[in-house]
Amino acid sequence: MAFGGYSGQAYSPAGEKGRFVLPPLFRKAVKESSDGRVLCLMKHPAWSCLVGFGTSRKDELEDQLDREEDRAIRLGRDFDRDTRASQLFGFQEMPFDDSGRFVMPDHLRSLGNIDEGLFFQGAGRFFTLWNPDELAKMGDDWAGAKAACDSFLADAKRKQK
């Protein structure tokens, strides 16, 4: 089956020992794009969140690196391929179990300001993982994601009672 991209939204509260759960919708897509249970995570270059994807994106990142270098050459700009490659391939691969549980390393939690839970937002080739408080700081063009996140948080609070 061909990988169809990441779409939708979900929420996962923080579990014991720094564990989170990759929601079923995203778990299925990561499995399809990783030939197994490997989640890749890194800091988003501009937003205060993390980016998730499967291992199949490695080829796409190499192609992106080539395109960026070609563009820089065409425009007569300097391009440090090693630095850019370090940025693009600076993700961490981590296994997750059949239930989607994975342990997020402390440095990623810190980079994404991750605390009590994760809001997942599909973005096609990747998905973002947000601390809801960080998402709330985003502009009006994030209104749909913010509304979905608020709804998931309200559901989670009702379930805690």
Task: Return per-residue pLDDT of the chain as tens, 161 residues.
Answer: 566 789 999 999 988 877 899 999 999 999 988 878 899 999 998 999 999 999 988 888 889 999 999 999 999 999 999 999 998 888 999 999 999 999 999 999 999 999 889 999 999 989 999 999 999 999 999 999 999 999 999 998 888 77
Structural domain count of the chain: 1
Of 119, 121, 128, the closest CA to residue 156 belongs to: 119
In a domain, 65, yes or no: no
For residue 25, the enclosing domain spans 9-55+92-160
In a domain, 15, yes or no: yes
> Under DSSP, is residue 14 helix (H, G, I), strand (E, B) or coil?
coil
| Residue 65 · residue 81 · CB < 8 Å | yes
In a domain, 67, yes or no: no
Give dist(CA 6, CA 28) in Å, integer: 10
The pTM (predicted TM-score) of the whole model is 0.88
> Under DSSP, is residue 151 helix (H, G, I), strand (E, B) or coil?
helix
Q: 3-state secondary structure string, 79-131?
A: CCHHHHHHHHCCCEEEECCCCCEEECCHHHHHHCCCCCEEEEEECECCEEEEC
Looking at residue 6, the DSSP 8-state letter turns out to be B
In a domain, 84, yes or no: no
Q: Show the tokens assigned to 49.
A: 């969140």
